[in-house]
Structure 1
Amino acid sequence: MSKRMDTGRPRDVDDYIAGFEEPKQDFLRRLRDLSRANAPTATEGLKWGNPAYFLDTILFVFAGYSEHANFAFTPSTKEAFAERLSGFDTGKGTIKLYYDREIPVDLLAEMIAYRIREFEVDGVKWM
């Protein structure tokens, strides 16, 4: 039985991912694994109903949708990688990751490292 039966909303990241059908679940699990591996000291939880990773502030968030997932950073992190993101659909701080394409693991790992440094060294909080 899903943990969301009583509220209609996921209670944790496992429940969030379980709310999607395969192969979207696998894609989101890989985003989770990437997030945990590259931000091992961050706390994992849900913010606005989506998986989020935070220290004293939100570092980044990902979310699943019907045709793609979004990975969201601060606009300043996204801007620092603007040239490398030119082939992606992006928003203010988001990158669309389509389920039928490879996850840009190295790029996202670099962006996570940048975001952590941006917070720890420069004190940049969430938007």
Structure 2
Amino acid sequence: MNHVPMGTVTEYLEGVSEANRRILERIVRIARELAPDAEEGVSYGMPALLVDGKGFLSVLETKKHLALYPFSGQILPEMSEELGGYSWSPGTLRFSADNPVPDSLVRRILETRLAAIRK
């Protein structure tokens, strides 16, 4: 049996409120489809999926919003037109259970990040 270190994605999601957990788990599922070799770990102090040892994705629940972190400051600015309905900064996409990120956009963000990691 694999030992899962403390603070990993699976463990973190177990502590998230149910409505938010479903949304965050869907994003993690997309990430695992795109990178089945991704490992759970920690990047920048956040539970994360890692690819080739680099941060690929973190999703967190905060008091005010949900957040997706692609561990890159270039991806979201390049997609700024598609992010119109969301609050974002170069390294963080903020959203809510009422206004989740569409799977197609999650997939594009993660495909772009994966390509950057694997260059």
TM-score range, shorter chain: 0.7 to 0.9
Of residues 19, 22, 28 in structure 2, which corresponds to 1:26? Answer: 22
**More displaced 10-residue stretch of structure 1: 55-64 or 71-80:** 55-64
1:81 is aligned to: 79
Q: CA, structure 1 residues 100+61, in 2 after alignment: closer, same or farther (shift >3 Å)?
A: same
Which 5+ residue runs of structure 1 have no aligned equivalent?
1-9, 122-127
1:104 is aligned to: 102
Of residues 28, 32, 35 in structure 1, which corresponds to 2:31? Answer: 35
Q: By how many angstroms is 1:112 displaced? A: 0.8
Q: By how many angstroms is 1:96 displaced? A: 0.6
1:71 is aligned to: 68
1:51 is aligned to: 48
Q: By how many angstroms is 1:22 displaced? A: 1.5
What SS does structure 1 have at the residue aligned with 2:67?
strand
**More displaced 10-residue stretch of structure 1: 62-71 or 109-118:** 62-71
CA RMSD of aligned residues (A): 1.9
Moved over 4 A (4+): none
Q: TM-score, normalised by structure 2?
A: 0.79
Distance 2:55 2:48 in 1: 11
Task: Say if 1:59 and 1:115, in contact at 8 Å, map to a contact too.
Answer: yes
- Does 1:17 pair with 2:22? no
**More displaced 10-residue stretch of structure 1: 58-67 or 85-94:** 58-67
1:44 is matched by which residue type in structure 2? E
Distance 1:15 1:56 in 2: 19
